[in-house]
Chains A and B, each alone.
Chain A
C-alpha cells in the first residue's frame, strides 16, 4: 500500500464539484420506503456509497444513510448482496 501511495502522489487529480441532488431539487424527499431512490446510493453489493462519490451534502447523506438502514431492517433494501 505504501509504495503505491508514492506513485500516486505525482498524479494530478481533478474533481468535478458534484451537486447534491436533494439540495438541487427540494421536492424530492428521502424515505426508507422509497426503494427506487435509495437504490442509487448503494453499490451492487448493497453497500452505502460514500458522499465523495455520490455527491450528496453532509445533511442529505446522513438522511440517506438513515433511510437505507431503516429500509434494511424492513427488508426493503438488502444488507448484503452475495455473488454480485
Chain B
C-alpha cells in the first residue's frame, strides 16, 4: 500500500455536482480496491499560468489516498476520457510518507479560491509555512 496524491483540473464551467460526482466515484473505486482516501482538497477556480485546452482557468481538486499501484491504472481509465477534466496527475507521496500525517486533518478542506488573479495566493493547508521573503 502506497500513498498517492491525485491532482485534477476541471473545466471552469463544470458544475459542482459533476466534480463531486467524479471525486466520489474515484473514492469508491479506491475503497473497493482496499485502499483508503485520506483527504480531499478543493482550491476552487484558479487561473492558469498558461492556457490549457484554450481555457485560462480551471478548478483544482486534490485527492490523497493509499492504494495498491494497479489501482492507478483504473483511475487513469476513469479520468482520461472524461471531458470535464482538463488535466490530471498522480504523484507518489514517497517512502517517508505516513498516513498519520493526515489523521488530524479535516476530511474535506476548502482552499480559498482566487477567481480574480493567479499571482501569489494560497498557502498549502498543511503547514503555517514560515515565509522568508528574500529570494
| A binding-site residues for B, Cβ under 8 Å | 21, 25, 27-29, 31-37, 39-41, 49, 54, 70, 72-79
Closest to A43 in B: B135
Which bracket fits the contact residues of B? 20 to 34
A contact face: mostly helix, strand, loop, or mixed: loop
- Which residues in window 78-130 of B have CB below 8 A to A? 87, 89, 91, 120-124, 126-127, 129-130
B13 close to A (CB within 8 Å): no
B4 close to A (CB within 8 Å): no
- Distance in Å: Cβ of B60 to nearest Cβ of chain A: 8
Closest to B87 in A: A74
The answer to whether A21 and B132 have CB atoms under 8 Å apart is: yes
Q: Can you sample 14 A-B contacts with CB below 8 Å? A: A21-B132, A25-B130, A29-B127, A32-B91, A33-B7, A33-B124, A35-B121, A35-B122, A36-B131, A74-B7, A74-B89, A75-B9, A75-B48, A75-B52
